[in-house]
Amino acid sequence: MVKRTKLINGTKSGLVTAVDVGSTKIACFIVRSQAQGKLEVVGIGHQVSKGMKNGNIVDMLAVEESIRAAVESAEQMAGENVRFITVCFAGGKLDSKLISFDVSIAGHEIGDADLQRALDPAWLYAQQSADCKVIHTLPVGFSIDGNKGVRDPRGMYGDKLGVNMHIITGAKAAVRNLELCVQRCHLDIEKFAIAPYAAGLACLVEDEKDLGAICVDMGGGTTSISVFLDNQLMFADSIPIGGDHVTKDIARGLSTPYAYAERMKNLYGSAIPTASDDHESIRIPLVGEDENEFSQVPRSMLVGIVRPRLEEIFELVCSKLNSAGFHKVTGRRVVLTGGASQLTGLTNLATTVLDKQVRLGRPINIEGLAESVNGPAFSVCAGLVQLTYNERSEAVFPMARRLEFSGNRFGRFGQWLRDNI
Does residue 205 carry a pLDDT above 90? yes
Q: What is the pLDDT of residue 132?
A: 86
Nearest to 311 by CA among 273, 248, 262, 354: 354
Does residue 409 carry a pLDDT above 70? no
Q: What is the pLDDT of residue 265?
A: 95
Q: What is the pLDDT of residue 124?
A: 67
Nearest to 57 by CA among 28, 100, 89, 95: 89
pLDDT level of residue 396 (50, 70, 90 thresholds):
very low
Alpha helices in 120-241 (DSSP H): 122-127, 172-184, 195-203, 206-211
Separation of alpha carbons 171 and 330, rounded Å: 28
Fold held by 206-363:
Nucleotidyltransferase; domain 5 (3.30.420)
DSSP state of 110: P
Q: What is the pLDDT of residue 307?
A: 96
Quote the pTM value: 0.86
**Residues contacting 394, CB < 8 A, separation 6+:** 402, 412
Quick one: average pLDDT of 168-175?
A: 90
Nearest to 302 by CA among 336, 352, 256: 256
**Residues contacting 338, CB < 8 A, separation 6+:** 199, 216, 217, 218, 219, 223, 242, 243, 376, 377, 379, 380
188-194 and 84-89 beta bridge pairing: parallel
Fold held by 95-172:
Dna Ligase; domain 1 (3.30.1490)
- Locate the domains of the chain by residue range: 95-172, 206-363
CA angle 246, 252, 256 (to 5 degrees): 100
Q: Say if residues 227 and 335 touch (Cβ distance below 8 Å).
A: no
